[in-house]
């Protein structure tokens, strides 16, 4: 009897330990229910201090800005979109409402977005909205007007970040007089809606992979890790040629000196036909629910052939994947892995 009792207790303990081990293994996995938003391109996610995720992206009608909120990244999929602003019927901000980003700055929400005019949809400029509400899906959004930069010819995809007490903006505009192309500009910000006088180009299309269909560098996204300021960007036409490249500068470098920036000659994330991932691009970064695992939010299509102009094909879907890091502190995008393979082991921040 004593032996049987001992055997039962031993078996129970083994099952408990086994269960704990399995739970520990599961806890190392971060899996996403992709796509987390259908027909949403140029996605941007802001994680608030209370852990709430706010999701904003380009809608295929190019006519409005909406925000979703969720306590989890996967929850974005079922979250109800709240329309916070609609395009004008005439004049500026009347067409091609593109690539909104949501940022919390000095206790206030700002949305940066690009828009054409109702009369000329290609007269693209960058604009801002502001909202003092604690919750950006509530309260009143005020039009702050155009964020004017020096070149200001075809300007879009503005993003902002703070580094060592200074706020910067990176955006897109024509970058060369010799040919029609777009590149990345950077400047210090003198307020959340104004730029300092010094504005410099830190990247423009120079490699073949950046010049497929269109000669563009666009969609900058910033991630500061491991003693470096990383900037991902997207290049080429918005079909299967679309791909993500990488720039970086040292954290103590002069970010307004183009020589401070290093650029990889090959893309870091691009079409993978075997995984049915076509034209991945225009990403942003956030942090998983564990508070430390870096996550890349991006859009892609699941088919290659597009009828007509790719810009008007609505099926760029938002996806999420863990961002890993190499031993030398560089981001590993996992080009040959699907989204959830990247999350099988928790991303390790150096």
Q: What does the domain layout of the chain look like in residue ranges?
A: 34-332
Position 26 pLDDT exceeds 50: no
The pLDDT tens digits for 188-209 are 999 999 999 999 999 999 999 9
Beta bridge partner(s), residue 103 = 110
pLDDT of residue 325: 97
Q: For domain 34-332, which CATH number applies: 2.115.10.20, 3.40.190.10, 1.10.600.10, 1.10.3720.10? A: 2.115.10.20
Average pLDDT for 275-287? 98
The catalytically annotated residue of 173, 218, 239, 294 is 218
pLDDT of residue 176: 84
pTM for the complete prediction? 0.91
Average pLDDT for 36-61? 98
**What are the tokens at 222?**
């910033």
pLDDT tier for residue 23 given thresholds of 50, 70 and 90: very low
119 in active site: no
DSSP state of 140: -
Residue with tokens 């997207």: 234
Position 126 pLDDT exceeds 50: yes
Contact 33, 319 (CB under 8 A): no
The catalytically annotated residue of 42, 66, 101, 239 is 42
Position 104 pLDDT exceeds 70: yes
Position 86 pLDDT exceeds 80: yes
218 in active site: yes
Sign of CA dihedral 165, 202, 124, 302: negative
pLDDT of residue 315: 98
The pLDDT tens digits for 234-248 are 999 999 999 999 999
How many Å apart are CA 303 and CA 265, to the nearest integer? 26
Chain-centre distance for alpha carbon 201: 20
């Amino acid at each position: 009897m004593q032996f049987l009792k001992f055997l039962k207790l031993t078996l129970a303990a083994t099952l408990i330990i086994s269960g704990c081990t399995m739970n520990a293994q599961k806890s190392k996995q971060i899996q996403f229910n992709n796509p987390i938003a259908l027909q949403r391109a140029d996605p941007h996610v802001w994680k608030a201090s209370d852990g709430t995720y706010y999701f904003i992206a380009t809608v295929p009608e190019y006519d409005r800005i909406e925000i979703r909120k969720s306590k989890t990244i996967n929850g974005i999929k079922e979250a109800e979109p709240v329309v916070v602003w609609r395009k004008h019927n005439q004049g500026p901000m009347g067409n091609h409402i593109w690539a909104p980003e949501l940022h919390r700055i000095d206790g206030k929400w700002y949305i940066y977005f690009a828009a054409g005019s109702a009369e000329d949809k290609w007269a693209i400029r960058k604009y801002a909205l502001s909202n003092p509400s604690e919750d950006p899906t509530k309260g009143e959004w005020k039009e702050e007007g155009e964020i004017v930069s020096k070149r200001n010819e075809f300007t879009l995809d503005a993003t902002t970040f703070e580094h060592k007490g200074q706020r910067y903006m990176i955006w897109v505009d024509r970058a060369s007089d010799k040919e029609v192309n777009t590149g990345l500009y950077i400047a210090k910000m003198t307020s959340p809606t104004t730029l300092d006088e010094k504005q410099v180009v830190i990247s423009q299309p120079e490699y073949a992979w950046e010049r497929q269909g269109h000669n563009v560098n666009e969609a900058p996204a910033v991630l500061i890790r491991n003693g470096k300021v990383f900037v991902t960007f997207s290049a080429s036409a918005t079909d299967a040629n679309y791909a993500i490249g990488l720039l970086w500068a040292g954290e103590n470098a002069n970010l307004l000196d183009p020589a401070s920036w290093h650029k990889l000659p090959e893309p870091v994330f691009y079409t993978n036909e075997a995984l049915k991932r076509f034209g991945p691009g225009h990403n942003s970064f956030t942090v998983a629910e564990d508070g430390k695992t870096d996550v890349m939010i991006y859009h892609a299509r699941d088919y290659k052939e597009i009828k007509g102009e790719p810009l008007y094909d609505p099926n760029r879907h938002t996806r999420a994947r863990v961002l890993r890091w190499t031993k030398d502190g560089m981001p590993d995008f996992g080009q040959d892995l699907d989204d959830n393979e990247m999350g099988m082991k928790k991303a390790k921040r150096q």
